[in-house]
A and B are shown apart, each in its own frame.
Chain A
């Protein structure tokens, strides 16, 4: 069957931001439910991808956040097993303009609402997502609350403790166990909240051992890896107190590749600093200039923190900026030539997003094989 319909219910409520701004919303559910008071708390961010809501909501990097999709029609093609980026939704809520009660796709195994309910994450619709996006663009990502009742009362719950600042969310989302997948030279991947698609791309090139976020550098080296990968993950890099020693222990000994949070952690490990962007980069259309040949890569992005450009120049050895964001000049990639390490802020694995940067996995493979 190429489509299937579902019946769902809605209850009126509010999405309230910490500054008191509020929006009328509907909380959706597969069975009739009544809500009262606070339903969810989290940091409100927006994502501008046009396709790939399933990959976005199952990306562990969204832990602790409310994901708002700017594209208005969501749920159209359902969800399916293959496009999961982890085994659940890690965000605290999914906020959209309009939910489709029909999923029309031969792969539409499950509805988005069902996926949200399995993860116990509220799906809300009917809000003016554009107004919310404009608000966040101007005032920055901020804590928010979804609930039923007087919005002024609800606003009191949206406190700064619900922002992602200073929180080690990687420790929350990391897979608890260590496992191996794939064939070839051994690469150890530190799972700070690693997306399944990254595992797929690496396992297609290496024997990949995925280890939990807090695994020590010594333990990583004990596997005798030919390369180490620093994964993406949620939240504030400064909150991962263990990563500096973890990374410096392996840095220079084996080739190293980092993506997103992994990129920020690598920067911090060499003494550079990270800062919080006003509202982050969340989308699938950011132009990044590869400085070596001026080629523009259209990239998939999802981060609220970034590496400070000036601090990088003062950091360890010879670090060179390799990629910059053409929209706002944010550092999108750097390399440490002496240490055979490089990292990018954006997501070469896409999922969702353009495949323009998949070459980075091959680059890492070359590096690993030549080591």
Chain B
């Protein structure tokens, strides 16, 4: 190269003109590939949530727009990406090697894009590659190739690559067996971190402080790793943790999209850490060192096009940097980085994978600058994880290197304090901010030492303990010593503490005259300072012992309203056209009001068990439908993983807490000034419980669709019962109670078993079935102790219903319009009997055992309820069928969790129809426009199966019950119920055995059907092991039992112990249907062993029978695959 080789121009370009040229023309995209297979991430599980629906949806949209044929595989029906419009062929089929090979053989894609579907897609792509499938069918892996993925994912190769670059990684060694593991650990010295290779979200990872802990963690890790490999590594707990999001194109241009700093030091999985963007405590020298390293890493690993996430740790005492790991794909952090900066990583990664260069892609937000830049942001972003430990009694809430959170909320503020407090009230734990609310009380009662002790351990509540310690006077130095949380963060929290002190000093003693003098004391300046530190009116009301209303009034007096700033990727350097906003009390507001009629859609907030992607699906579809109908759509949500918080899903996005004050401010901003009269209303019924709770504070005339009063009737036990009575609709006998005496009276009337639960809760929280008085007392006291989760549950009465044993449960989704028009969405028959939460139960469309007249009765009753409630939009009704009688269990006049499943199963766009109905269209009109489906007979079955997070919680009881614990769902669709059920099990990761041994341990009441089950298993050639009682029963029916298993701890010499039987690996399926529960019961040990050793375990008889049918079906039939488009086409043909 001559000295000036780098300085000779070839041609000169005017970028603006270039973008004009680019419009609609494939300039740089590859033309040698015409079809692309995209693999989604499957069901929502811990570590893999909505973020991959967001990234996969973007990928599909980009590929379609660029003219490629898109083939999509994803087993999760609740995703936007699996809507038939997003791909040319959508396979809602199990994500397994065999199924994907069938899809490839049938569709013959030219390329496979494996980097947008999380670890699931990446692992499957690697399996397809290893099995020679890609080569056999000539499929090219784009985005990242197998070598790059392997180098990044295989810890030994990765470590060698880092050594080559002279980048330090923590000292470590690999082991494939325990012997090697022990020698490596001893060489490094304790504490050590154990990380299994090729696993998702750090499952099986842990820190061992001594050799005893090490033995347990290492053996679990070896079994968790698909290649039986663990990395044992020097612990750098207490170091600062950072992440960089890197993009690289085929011309080797590389940029950093975003830096992220973890609030929690090393030792807590980044998915379980509070994180902040951009990094706050790095000097430029340190940041650039990290940036340089990131580029060297992405180049060495060989991710040629697309995004990667690289994690670093820094020793706070000397700046020493180590590389932790790299994800050669779009990750959860990428979704966060996209939402935090406005830079659409998934979309751009897709464009890069098909051949574009960064400088050939327009920055969507500025429209005048290219994507080859590094976003500059002029705000602070805070993400807070949301956990669900309350769902898993007995599981330790200690956080570690294995991710356990189920969701997250993100907030944006102009300062860290503002963003943090907004995030804390976004997380839906009933907090008003970082404390300053009634939930402070338990910590307030403790001494400083106790609080500090609590704060030493990383748990979900640590940030509140830190705040409490600082409030009790601990120095930053002391708290740093205990927690290793960076002093900068601690200083910010102390700023909040100081602000709190200012307001508590003003607190009034009683509700008398002093309020007036308080009002006089408060200056605009003080109030503004507090608001700029993120304080909510509710917090200030609590701190001053007054009320939220008072501060609302004061703000109005001082004209203090939040201004809405814009997320624009460039810190205001260029004009932005994308309306993506957040609030702050800095002053200027940039929001512009349009002149179209507009609708505000309230999203569903952070993912929780019971409230997940299904509701985001509904909100997004409402936005699409209403936008199409000419409305300006305004989305309000705080979940960074979702499609709804993508800046181009709605016409306007407010990334704001779903909290009354923040919502009111948005409503005011959208209702004031020019164009302010155009607010048609607010949709509260599509985002699950979160918006419903907010609805109570909204002007009723603004609520679109079903009224808040109707929602209250459905939730308020007394009003609901009265309504059912007046309509002569039978419901299980029951009553409400606020005291134990009242409760006992109800029980005396209706008799055991009973179902007890608090009202207004989500996902069957704290719901229990009790069979006797002793259990009942315990359950009632648990309910009374339940603190107000997400609001004021404790102030609401407890509901007590007679529990219908062995009843069939049925779910119905339907739509009613304002004229009384009615549309049935679908009738779902549950596989598990009533008593198992509907969210945890498998269900099937169409019903398989319900006679036509019962189905008719279900439809009529649903319509009757919808009429009585004057529902406008969606309604979900749950029924139980016992001994030929139909009972209504509950009705929810809103979108239910099953709406996306019903839509996928039937091809009917329920949310679209419901949204139009909510803004006043009638079903009749929609039918005349061809939007409504024509009634048809379908010749296929769709089964929804729940996916449980038990592998994350080895000590959790896997027994299903009335409290929902599943995190996600899959769908199996095929020509018979048995085949569809088989697919659903495969998709959910339950590997039903085709031969071998089945272990039966059945509750007395299940023993009759157990005989039939055992006969069929025998006929299929299975050998049978059974606990003594079950064995006795089977033998009395002449069914031979191969192994009789004794009670744990009581097994005779010649008897097998259940745990050792399961751990031996001989058993392929455990069927355990217990009555009563408890950590010490035999059933618990059987189930947790099955969980630990990854043996399929079924806990209800109905599911067991369905499972056996599935095994029979798989024996007789070869599995086939069909795309959703093909299924839906068969419907429209059938209708002609």
Q: Which residues of A contact B (CB under 8 A)?
A: 2-3, 5, 46, 48-52, 54-55, 70-73, 76-77, 80, 82-83, 97-98, 100-102, 104-107, 128-131, 133-134, 137, 283-287, 289-296, 298, 320-322, 324, 326-329, 333, 335, 337, 342, 350-355, 359, 363, 366-367, 370
Tell me whether A54 and B370 are in contact in the complex, defined as CB-CB below 8 angstroms, given that A5-B476, A320-B8, A342-B7 are known contacts.
no
Q: Is B480 at the interface (CB under 8 A from chain A)? A: yes
- The contact of B282 among A2, A77, A129, A298, by CB within 8 Å, is A77
Does A286 lie within 8 Å of B280, measured CB to CB?
no
Does B282 lie within 8 Å of A329, measured CB to CB?
no
CA distance A323 to B501 in the complex (A): 56
Does B415 lie within 8 Å of A289, measured CB to CB?
no
Does B281 lie within 8 Å of A71, measured CB to CB?
no
Tell me whether A337 and B476 are in contact in the complex, defined as CB-CB below 8 angstroms, given that A50-B377, A137-B575, A285-B375 are known contacts.
no
24 contacts between A and B (CB under 8 A): A3-B480, A50-B278, A51-B282, A51-B284, A51-B287, A52-B287, A83-B285, A102-B491, A104-B486, A105-B281, A130-B586, A283-B571, A290-B7, A292-B7, A296-B359, A296-B370, A298-B372, A322-B8, A327-B15, A329-B14, A335-B4, A335-B8, A359-B6, A363-B6
Does A294 lie within 8 Å of B12, measured CB to CB?
no
Does B588 lie within 8 Å of A130, measured CB to CB?
yes
CA distance A77 to B284 in the complex (A): 10
Which chain A positions have C-beta within 8 A of B374? 284-285, 298, 354
Tell me whether A107 and B283 are in contact in the complex, defined as CB-CB below 8 angstroms, given that A71-B376, A327-B574, A335-B7 are known contacts.
yes
Does B13 lie within 8 Å of A134, measured CB to CB?
no
Does A285 lie within 8 Å of B588, measured CB to CB?
no
Tell me whether A73 and B251 are in contact in the complex, defined as CB-CB below 8 angstroms, given that A97-B415, A104-B486, A327-B373 are known contacts.
no
Q: Is B199 at the interface (CB under 8 A from chain A)? A: no
Which chain B positions have C-beta within 8 A of A296? 251, 253, 357-359, 370, 372
Minimum distance in angstroms from A45 CB to a CB of chain B: 12
Does A298 lie within 8 Å of B415, measured CB to CB?
no
- The contact of B283 among A51, A293, A294, A370, by CB within 8 Å, is A51
Does A76 lie within 8 Å of B572, measured CB to CB?
no
Which chain A positions have C-beta within 8 A of B480? 3
Q: Is B1069 at the interface (CB under 8 A from chain A)? A: no
Give B250-272 as 1s and 0s: 1 = Cβ < 8 Å from A's Cβ atoms. Answer: 01110100010000000000000
| B477 nearest in chain A by CB position | A3
Q: Is B368 at the interface (CB under 8 A from chain A)? A: yes
- The contact of B284 among A104, A137, A283, A352, by CB within 8 Å, is A352
Which chain A positions have C-beta within 8 A of B10? 291-292, 294
Q: Main SS of chain A's interface residues?
A: mixed
Q: Main SS of chain B's interface residues?
A: loop
Does B8 lie within 8 Å of A70, measured CB to CB?
no
Does B587 lie within 8 Å of A128, measured CB to CB?
yes
| B320 nearest in chain A by CB position | A106
Q: Is B318 at the interface (CB under 8 A from chain A)? A: yes
Minimum distance in angstroms from B600 CB to a CB of chain A: 25
Does B283 lie within 8 Å of A83, measured CB to CB?
yes
Minimum distance in angstroms from A122 CB to a CB of chain B: 20
Tell me whether A289 and B587 are in contact in the complex, defined as CB-CB below 8 angstroms, given that A2-B317, A70-B571, A107-B283 are known contacts.
no
Does A298 lie within 8 Å of B373, measured CB to CB?
yes
Give B464-494 as 1s and 0s: 1 = Cβ < 8 Å from A's Cβ atoms. Answer: 0000000000001000100000111001000
Which chain B positions have C-beta within 8 A of A106? 316-319
Select the residue from A77, A107, A287 with max chain B CB neighbours within 10 A. A287
Does A105 lie within 8 Å of B415, measured CB to CB?
no
Which chain B positions have C-beta within 8 A of A97? 378, 414-415, 586
Does A354 lie within 8 Å of B359, measured CB to CB?
no
Does B572 lie within 8 Å of A327, measured CB to CB?
no
| B585 nearest in chain A by CB position | A128
Does B376 lie within 8 Å of A134, measured CB to CB?
no
Does A48 lie within 8 Å of B588, measured CB to CB?
no
CA distance A95 to B50 in the complex (A): 40
CA distance A322 to B487 in the complex (A): 46
Which chain B positions have C-beta within 8 A of A370? 3
Does A354 lie within 8 Å of B288, measured CB to CB?
yes
Minimum distance in angstroms from A85 CB to a CB of chain B: 11
Minimum distance in angstroms from B263 CB to a CB of chain A: 13
Minimum distance in angstroms from B564 CB to a CB of chain A: 11
Minimum distance in angstroms from B1082 CB to a CB of chain A: 53
Known: A98-B415, A320-B9, A337-B4. 9 other contacts (CB 8 A): A2-B317, A3-B480, A104-B488, A106-B319, A137-B574, A292-B9, A294-B357, A327-B574, A333-B7
| B370 nearest in chain A by CB position | A326
Minimum distance in angstroms from A324 CB to a CB of chain B: 7
CA distance A262 to B22 in the complex (A): 36
CA distance A249 to B487 in the complex (A): 56
CA distance A289 to B7 in the complex (A): 11
In the A-B complex, the 5 residue pairs with the closest CB atoms: A52-B284, A352-B284, A3-B487, A291-B9, A131-B588
Which chain B positions have C-beta within 8 A of A134? 572, 588, 590
CA distance A124 to B378 in the complex (A): 17
CA distance A83 to B376 in the complex (A): 22
Does B376 lie within 8 Å of A285, measured CB to CB?
yes
Does A133 lie within 8 Å of B573, measured CB to CB?
yes
Does A322 lie within 8 Å of B359, measured CB to CB?
no
- The contact of A101 among B291, B358, B373, B491, by CB within 8 Å, is B491
CA distance A329 to B259 in the complex (A): 28
CA distance A131 to B379 in the complex (A): 13
Does A287 lie within 8 Å of B586, measured CB to CB?
no
Does B359 lie within 8 Å of A294, measured CB to CB?
yes
- The contact of A72 among B13, B358, B359, B415, by CB within 8 Å, is B415
Which chain A positions have C-beta within 8 A of B284? 49, 51-52, 54-55, 83, 350-353
Q: Is B888 at the interface (CB under 8 A from chain A)? A: no
Q: Is B1038 at the interface (CB under 8 A from chain A)? A: no
Minimum distance in angstroms from A290 CB to a CB of chain B: 6
- The contact of B572 among A107, A133, A324, A353, by CB within 8 Å, is A133
Does A287 lie within 8 Å of B372, measured CB to CB?
yes
Does B288 lie within 8 Å of A289, measured CB to CB?
no
Q: Is B5 at the interface (CB under 8 A from chain A)? A: yes
- The contact of B487 among A2, A51, A285, A352, by CB within 8 Å, is A2
CA distance A104 to B359 in the complex (A): 37
Which chain B positions have C-beta within 8 A of A49? 284, 376
CA distance A3 to B485 in the complex (A): 12
Does B292 lie within 8 Å of A70, measured CB to CB?
no
| B374 nearest in chain A by CB position | A285
CA distance A2 to B292 in the complex (A): 24
Does A76 lie within 8 Å of B378, measured CB to CB?
no
Minimum distance in angstroms from A109 CB to a CB of chain B: 11
Q: Is B416 at the interface (CB under 8 A from chain A)? A: yes
| A327 nearest in chain B by CB position | B369
Tell me whether A324 and B13 are in contact in the complex, defined as CB-CB below 8 angstroms, given that A70-B571, A83-B285, A106-B319 are known contacts.
yes
- The contact of A287 among B12, B291, B359, by CB within 8 Å, is B359
Minimum distance in angstroms from A147 CB to a CB of chain B: 19
Minimum distance in angstroms from B8 CB to a CB of chain A: 5
- The contact of A133 among B317, B378, B380, B415, by CB within 8 Å, is B378
CA distance A231 to B5 in the complex (A): 23
CA distance A50 to B569 in the complex (A): 12
Does A130 lie within 8 Å of B491, measured CB to CB?
no
Which chain B positions have C-beta within 8 A of A54? 283-284
